[in-house]
A = this chain, B = another copy of it.
Amino acid sequence: MKQETIDRIRKFTDDRDWEQYHTPANLAKSISIEANELLECFQWSDTQYDIAEVSEELADVLVYCRNMLDALGLDEDEIILRKMAKNEAKYPVEKAKGKSTKYDKL
């Protein structure tokens, strides 16, 4: 995400005095709620979806994720790179290649 985009999200919250609602717990609920509006685009069909609606709902998920990073003072790249290292260890290429099996059943 570009700094300009991050700033626009922060200004939106700031202008409305909404930091008070952005507790980590409320943001976790919000991410799940928006993730399910995204899921609703695929409720009855996996292949027929409205790309404009999907884009909007995915954007909403990403905005709340940005709010949560801010509320907790986390660095996006840092937490992702640390998790990717774990994922790489949990799913060794030679075992996981081409399979959707969960790590505890690999």
Contacts and interface: CB of A to CB of B under 8 A. Distances in A.
A47 to B, nearest CB: 7
A58 B39 contact: no
Interface of A: 1-2, 4-5, 8-9, 12, 15-18, 20-21, 23-26, 28-33, 35-47, 49, 51, 54-56, 58-63, 65, 68-69, 72, 74, 76-77, 79-84, 86-88, 91, 93, 96-98, 100
18 contacts: A2-B77, A17-B97, A18-B100, A21-B44, A24-B42, A24-B46, A25-B47, A28-B54, A29-B43, A32-B38, A33-B40, A33-B43, A44-B100, A58-B68, A58-B79, A59-B82, A62-B79, A63-B80
